[in-house]
Structure 1
Amino acid sequence: MTECTKNDFLIRQVVGSCLMGIRQASGPLNIKITHKIKLLSLLLFSLISSLVSAQEIQGGITGKVNMIDGQPLRAISVSLLGADRQTLTDDEGNYKFEHLNAGNYTVKFQILGSKEIRLPAEVKTGETTTLDYQLTKENILAIQEVVIMKNTNRFSKKESGYVARLPLKNLENPQVYNTVTKELFQEQVAVDLGSISKNVPGAGVPMIANQGRVTFRSRGFETEPNARNGVAGAAFSVIDPVNLERIEAIKGPSATLFGKSVASSYGGVYNRVTKKPYNDFGGEVGYVGGSWNYNRLTVDVNTPINKDRTALFRLNAAGTFEKSFQDLGFTNSLAIAPSFSYQITDRLSLLLDVEFNQAKGTSVVRFNPYTGGNKIQSIADMKFPYYKNFLSDDLAYETQMMNIFAQMNYKISENWTSQTILSRARSTINGYISAINGKTDSTASAQVMVGTTSFIATNIQQNFIGDFKIGRFRNRMVVGLDYYNNSNHFDRYHTNTKVFNFVHPSADFRVNRNTIDALTATSVMRKENNGDNTYAAYVSDVFNITDQLMVMASLRVDRFQFKGVYDIATGEIKGGLSNSGTQTGPYGQTAFSPKLGVVYEILKNKLSLFGNYMNGFNNVSGTDINGNTFRPEYANQLEFGAKADLFNHRLVGTLSYYNIRVDNILRTNPDDINYSIQDGTQLSRGIEAELTANPFDGLNIVAGYAYNDSKYTNANPSVNGLRPALSGPANMYNFWISYRITDGKLKGLGIGGGGNMGSSSYQTNTQTAKVIIPSYKMFDLGIFYDQPKYRVGLKFDNITNEQAWSVRLTPQAPARFLGSVSLKF
């Protein structure tokens, strides 16, 4: 019996069985019904027969795309020429085409930064053809978010398309940057940016601003996490990490590529890399609960939304509710972060990424001590209560943040790719924000800001990214245009309460909403708009002299236009408030920012030496006493070091020495305190070391050390030669060590522990008055059980109950317990 005859026989049996069932259920059938059933059976037989026949002559193609080192390549466009079919590789690099007619096909792989690949494939009846491909070109454009080092050092994922905007590996990049991966902060049950940043060398104790904003230290300078996917993504509010793939702490003045916006400081850039959709259905839901009524629910769902899986959607969301460890205070927040990607053609792709967050909470304690009397004092000895908040829960603020990020990539040719980016960020703050100002050694007054503030920023970028040869010399180049618009609105009052004794407060003393609203009625409102525009162009080229020796040369030209301050009450543009305290009208400044680097790979892909010169700047408004316009501040860095990636990625590390000099810093004119002069200099020098190790399967080590020596020179005698206040500790250490069982019945069970330590620092540091922040040693411990379908974790933060303060003298949380559970699907 032939295959076709066998199928016909089976179909007849199926149809016959159906008819018999109908007869038994209906009893005797009349002739008309019998004819109808016969007709239905013929139609059913024909339909099933045609379907089976179609399946017999159809087949499929499946395969896997890998990098040169065998690691999978995700989100690569795979097309089937002649069949008008297209798909993307999944996280494992796999792709497939089903229901194909037998015949010969051509499979096309379109990879950004690599030559188009076309391979023949033959589909046979009823069979699936396997067609794998492995790259023969070592570098591809990293903006495709390549998945690497998946099965070795799980906490070290260095390759990035954002740091240099070029297809550069970490060992080829003359700039230092640290990465904190999702795998690491998930294991640590790190539920906020402050906890995540503890893994960055030199970040220090995070400073929480009154509206939930968080900032860190970087090489002695304040740095905010205001870059998102490589461009400005400011958020003057709580930033929820629910959609974070990793944090990139890019070190040193980085104005050449990131400009002078809220994204960059003299110490560097904190870049938030968000989760992207992937080519499969999956996700997880999670819950974290802990001390002080902490409750957090998270959702992560990903799904393809078309048949060929070229349109992908991912949704991350989180709701968090927590009380303060102090006697009063709370924060409630909701974050929703959808992300959509679409491979429009094999050359053109679109990514749309949105962050929405709203929160309601009370201000954290911000204490500004009384510094009169020319004394040296420590916050630990001031008897300012560690566990007390002098404001009421009805003095709350509300914030809302909306960030929109859109990126379009187009493969112009084998050597050039176009990248167009639009970023739009909006933050609003409404309600009550406070600080406590010392009046004497034992008394203080609360300053409360009431009203609404909003910030809107728009960033448009066009990059052309190339990887080409001139003769035998390889060049990797980015040429870009950058437009940044900033618009701010202020509608708020400043009030000051009566003086109270914070050492021995009265039993009924508490600043509440009724008190502040009564004071607001007699206060002066600040009601104004201001804004600025920045236009920039930049170029950066990495030139390979040999396969192991390369140099980088980059330049940015930046035109800053300040629009002035529009007073809504008077209808006048009155200018901005300069650093000297005088008013200045609209003005413009032009700045040039160069960057040079050299890398020599002593051992190709294993060990490199590097050096760099980098520049940053800050636009400054106002004039001196003689009417001379101030120049932009400039920061210049020299840095030298070594990078290693050894033993099949099991040992990854960086060691560097840097020297930063900031010129044109303003200081108060000693002859007239109403004006400033521009001759101050700040020096910041130091050593940084980072290590991520996986000595053997299951054991992972993350460690860092940062030494920073900062001081003022050519400054006012009151601070000349001293370490700047708010620059953080001179010495900081961080580490995390964990071990998980890799096989057997207890596979996935693990334990981890770590700590953060810092030397003493200053909130105020002058020749006559000092407020010292004590050194700290804070240790954490975690236990986890990670399985394919679920993950459970227990975390104990600050297990020694250490008392510590941020640079704003905000008390940090004592010992805290967190428990987490996640279900994966």
Structure 2
Amino acid sequence: MKKLYNLSLILLLILAVTNCASAQQSRGTIKGKVSTSDNKPADNVTVALQGTKYGTITNENGEFSFKAPAGNYMLHVSAIGLMTEEKPVVITAGATVTVDFMLKESAHDLKEVSISDTRRKYKVDAPSQSLRLNEPLLEVPQNIQVITSDQVKEQQVFNMLEGVSRNVSGVVLQEHWGNYALMYGRGDRIAAFRNGFNIEATWGPLTEDMSFVDRIEFVKGPAGFMLANGNPSGFYNVVTKKPTGLTHQAFSFSAGSFDNYRATADFDGVITKNGKLQYRLNVMGQKADSWRPNEFTNRFLVAPVLRYKFDDKNMITAEYTYQYQHMSAFGAGYLFSTKGYKDLPVDFTNVPSNGPASDIYDHSAFLNYEHKFNDKWKFTAQGAIFNYKQNGYSYWINSIQTNGDVIRSLGLWDASNRGKYAQAFLNGEVKTGAVKHRILGGVDVGDKYYIADYFQSGALDPENAPFNIYNPNNGPVTLPTFDRSLPLGQRGLGAVSMQHYQSAYVQDELGFFDQKLRLTLAGRYTHVWMSNADVSQAISDNKFSPRIGLSYSINDRTSVYGVYDQSFLPQSGILANGGGNPNPITGNNIEGGIKRDWFGGKWSTTASIYQITKNNQLIANPEDPTGRTVLQLGQTKTHGVEFDARGEIVPGLSLMANYAYTNSEISKDLTASRVGAPVPGFAKHVTNTWLTYRLQSGELKGLGFSAGYLWQLHRYPWSLSTRGTDVPNYFRLDAGTSYQFKRFNVAVNVNNVLNAFLISGGHQDYLNGAGATVYNWQAEAPRNIRASIGYRF
């Protein structure tokens, strides 16, 4: 851990060594001026030598000057949205060479392009390649929202547990154990993807740190072009950073409330002079305590990526990520009371001072190969391996009395989560007469395995000396003794789950009337085999899932769409009524919407309306103290309205705003006793904003201010509630200020400005022998501050 705490010093040493080595080479000087077509100076334009780290940015007079080793190079001039221009140049040691450029764009065009650099922090126009869709988001017949790394950086979000969901309509983060993100949208859990692979597990994966994330794509509803064996509510796809072919480095250091310290480094460049072998390396270290005593979460990450471009048609990318997390035992944030939510102070904890720590070791590796046959057809093959190991403990309680007496418990939670995945798909375009076809087809296979030892537990308090929540003593206790003499593969035989799936799919988007009207016809065939130690036999299911979509471009900036899609999800568990294995979930989504880009594409809006029907959904049995049995509902229906707006409204002023109305109810029930009751885990009204304004001129140019809120109304807990919406409404206000000066950036964010008491929670009726309702909840941090400083070169 000493290396973790001293990471910022190590990064500075790396920088010093790099600069020292470079200085020892013989160099010459290259200078010049970049002008626009109307003979105006072009400022903020990148000038760089191909295949090297040498370059600079033009000043307000369009001038540039920098030193580089002697040699023959190709000099590139580029700006966001402009075609790259280049000239050969010969640099001689000790000499100066002058090279001038005249851009094709006018000064007005260049100004518009530079503005786009700001709006791209909020708005992107195309999905990542890992979503396989070879078309603009405006033309896709589905609601897809993309969150950029710049946006979460501006909000100083460090991982998926810290508010990424605020940037998407209708998505809420439920309670968590501190190791994975449990996100709900459209009435159910949305699946976790990374780089196009479905990596979701019952207790995982480890939540991604934002330091190696390029973007996060939220796909609403089923998406047969990605996967059919999943919840029809949708998924989020984390896209990791890849080499760009340019040489850039970035360092940052952050400090904040509760002894939160963090350092990151991002190295992006080329290894060979011809630029074919490229690299990306992200490193992060973080030490963080909590607003509650005896809690902490320390993290370390290293994520190297190598990419080799054989030629213009063939490319291979290899990626590895290691995340390590050292934290207090899982469940430390859960609180309990018989008197209601918020009965205890926001900084209350049940954790003893000598509580044990949990360790997570998370490895993942990707290999991607792309081959372009021509500018119309491309083949992609990729594979991934995930290996998650957890040596941990978890807190809960055995019982609670109305006077506040609690018997706390500590359990073992050692686990292994492994996954192997492979994909191959083909994208292409072909015309048959006046009809243009966008073709997508491929195969997916996956293998998931999870094993855990959570069978060993013991009380932290004797029956005659309970812990009292109204008169707490968080001093050291006698910890239970756990037996780890056997390997996990033997200890966890009673908690093994496995899943194997194979699927094939094909999609044809037919474009009519010069591509204004687009009809999508698609289908996927999936076979899934799964086994769970809690059930008596393995389960095997097959299903064909059709997809029909229609999209029409009213003009270049406006489109309307409709889509019908299906999904299914095999499920296992012990039914409370002893009815054998549960049936698989079958679901469908009917959705329509309108998308529009405004003012030349600077910002966009999406409005959609949908209805999701799910059959055979499982929920936890609230009357089972062991948590082993489940209830199977006959049918649920979720319908709602969603609205998202993002982009730059006027120069310097950027906005993210969203609203969602969601209503999820039981529409059919095997006993007819719960028809009309709400389905757990959603909020009827969710709205969020984030507004940023940055001065564009004057002495304070680069100074920016940000503010935003999260607001959730009519909330239902994740566990089945027979008491309606007794979870308190949620309103959080955040604000920040930042200053960008050349390559430096300084930012200060204040979260929970109003110091509100914010929680998420549910009910547990079986923890009190007298039959009283037991409320359990997690409290969020009170008002807290984060400050960061960054440097890019």
Match of 1:297 among 249, 258, 263: 263
Q: What TM-score comes out, normalization by structure 2 length?
A: 0.78
2:436 is equivalent to residue 474 of structure 1: yes
Match of 2:162 among 195, 200, 203: 195
* Structure 1 residue 815, shift from structure 2 partner: 0.3
Pairs within 5 Å for 1:567-586: 576-577=533-534, 583-586=535-538
* Structure 1 residue 455, shift from structure 2 partner: 0.6
* Structure 1 residue 383, shift from structure 2 partner: 4.1
2:787 is equivalent to residue 819 of structure 1: yes
Corresponding letter in the other structure for 1:748: G
Structure 1 match to 2:84 = 94
Check whether the contact 1:211–1:397 (CA below 8 A) recurs between aligned residues: no
* Structure 1 residue 311, shift from structure 2 partner: 1.3
Structure 1 match to 2:184 = 217
Distance 2:376 2:115 in 1: 23
Distance 2:117 2:269 in 1: 22
* Structure 1 residue 397, shift from structure 2 partner: 0.7
Structure 1 match to 2:388 = 427
Corresponding letter in the other structure for 1:661: T
Distance 1:631 1:127 in 2: 74
Pairs within 5 Å for 1:529-678: 529-546=496-513, 547-562=515-530, 564=531, 576-577=533-534, 583-604=535-556, 606-621=557-572, 630-666=582-618
Pairs within 5 Å for 1:163-182: 164-182=131-149
2:491 is equivalent to residue 491 of structure 1: no
Secondary structure at the counterpart of residue 517 of structure 1 = coil
Structure 2 match to 1:394 = 355
Check whether the contact 1:537–1:557 (CA below 8 A) recurs between aligned residues: yes
Of 286-295 and 85-94, deviating more is: 85-94
Secondary structure at the counterpart of residue 516 of structure 1 = coil
Structure 2 match to 1:309 = 275
Sort the Cα spacing of 1:637 and 1:312 in 2 relative to 1 into closer, same or farther, 3 A. same
Sort the Cα spacing of 1:587 and 1:189 in 2 relative to 1 into closer, same or farther, 3 A. closer
Corresponding letter in the other structure for 1:660: I
Distance 1:403 1:296 in 2: 22
2:208 is equivalent to residue 246 of structure 1: no
Secondary structure at the counterpart of residue 438 of structure 2 = strand
Check whether the contact 1:797–1:817 (CA below 8 A) recurs between aligned residues: yes
Q: What TM-score comes out, normalization by structure 1 length?
A: 0.75
Check whether the contact 1:90–1:280 (CA below 8 A) recurs between aligned residues: no
Match of 1:449 among 405, 408, 411: 411
Q: Bigger radius of gyration, 1 or 2?
A: 1
Sort the Cα spacing of 1:492 and 1:667 in 2 relative to 1 into closer, same or farther, 3 A. closer
* Structure 1 residue 492, shift from structure 2 partner: 4.0
* Structure 1 residue 191, shift from structure 2 partner: 2.0
Secondary structure at the counterpart of residue 242 of structure 1 = helix
Structure 2 match to 1:723 = 678
Sort the Cα spacing of 1:314 and 1:764 in 2 relative to 1 into closer, same or farther, 3 A. closer
Sort the Cα spacing of 1:519 and 1:721 in 2 relative to 1 into closer, same or farther, 3 A. farther
Structure 1 match to 2:24 = none
Sort the Cα spacing of 1:766 and 1:308 in 2 relative to 1 into closer, same or farther, 3 A. closer
Sequence identity (%): 22
Distance 1:436 1:728 in 2: 26
* Structure 1 residue 200, shift from structure 2 partner: 2.7
* Structure 1 residue 194, shift from structure 2 partner: 2.9
Secondary structure at the counterpart of residue 634 of structure 2 = strand
Distance 2:47 2:422 in 1: 27
Distance 2:412 2:424 in 1: 40
Secondary structure at the counterpart of residue 656 of structure 1 = strand
Check whether the contact 1:158–1:170 (CA below 8 A) recurs between aligned residues: yes
2:465 is equivalent to residue 508 of structure 1: no
Post-superposition Cα deviations, 1:137-159, rounded to whole Å, max 9, x if no partner, equal: xxxxxxxxxx9943645411131
Corresponding letter in the other structure for 2:176: A
Post-superposition Cα deviations, 1:122-170, rounded to whole Å, max 9, x if no partner, equal: xxxx998989999xxxxxxxxxxxx994364541113113575121111
* Structure 1 residue 613, shift from structure 2 partner: 1.0
Post-superposition Cα deviations, 1:283-321, rounded to whole Å, max 9, x if no partner, equal: 111111010001000101112100111211111111010
Sort the Cα spacing of 1:436 and 1:706 in 2 relative to 1 into closer, same or farther, 3 A. farther
Corresponding letter in the other structure for 1:241: M
Distance 1:475 1:293 in 2: 56
Corresponding letter in the other structure for 1:217: Y
Sort the Cα spacing of 1:89 and 1:533 in 2 relative to 1 into closer, same or farther, 3 A. farther
> Matched residue pairs, number?
689
Distance 1:351 1:89 in 2: 26
Sort the Cα spacing of 1:732 and 1:314 in 2 relative to 1 into closer, same or farther, 3 A. same
Sort the Cα spacing of 1:690 and 1:454 in 2 relative to 1 into closer, same or farther, 3 A. same
Corresponding letter in the other structure for 2:789: V
Match of 1:463 among 425, 433, 454: 425
Sort the Cα spacing of 1:259 and 1:424 in 2 relative to 1 into closer, same or farther, 3 A. farther
Secondary structure at the counterpart of residue 759 of structure 1 = strand
Corresponding letter in the other structure for 2:356: L
Sort the Cα spacing of 1:129 and 1:272 in 2 relative to 1 into closer, same or farther, 3 A. same
Match of 1:439 among 386, 400, 413: 400
Check whether the contact 2:662–2:684 (CA below 8 A) recurs between aligned residues: yes
Check whether the contact 2:683–2:713 (CA below 8 A) recurs between aligned residues: yes
* Structure 1 residue 805, shift from structure 2 partner: 1.4
Check whether the contact 1:202–1:217 (CA below 8 A) recurs between aligned residues: no
Structure 1 match to 2:59 = none
Distance 1:540 1:489 in 2: 36
Structure 2 match to 1:279 = 245
Structure 1 match to 2:738 = 784
Sort the Cα spacing of 1:410 and 1:279 in 2 relative to 1 into closer, same or farther, 3 A. same
Corresponding letter in the other structure for 2:640: G
2:367 is equivalent to residue 403 of structure 1: no
Distance 1:643 1:662 in 2: 27
Distance 2:150 2:631 in 1: 49
Check whether the contact 2:748–2:785 (CA below 8 A) recurs between aligned residues: yes
Match of 2:315 among 330, 334, 349: 349
Post-superposition Cα deviations, 1:232-275, rounded to whole Å, max 9, x if no partner, equal: 34553242110111111111123552343xxx533211111112
Structure 2 match to 1:379 = 341
Post-superposition Cα deviations, 1:777-811, rounded to whole Å, max 9, x if no partner, equal: 10011010012311000110001011111346211
Sort the Cα spacing of 1:713 and 1:391 in 2 relative to 1 into closer, same or farther, 3 A. farther
Corresponding letter in the other structure for 2:791: L
Corresponding letter in the other structure for 2:790: S
Of 806-815 and 550-559, deviating more is: 806-815
Structure 2 match to 1:23 = none
Corresponding letter in the other structure for 2:252: G
List alignment gaps of at least 5 residues for structure 1.
1-51, 53-62, 65-71, 79-84, 101-125, 135-146, 372-376, 566-575, 578-582
Distance 1:664 1:738 in 2: 45
Check whether the contact 1:444–1:502 (CA below 8 A) recurs between aligned residues: yes
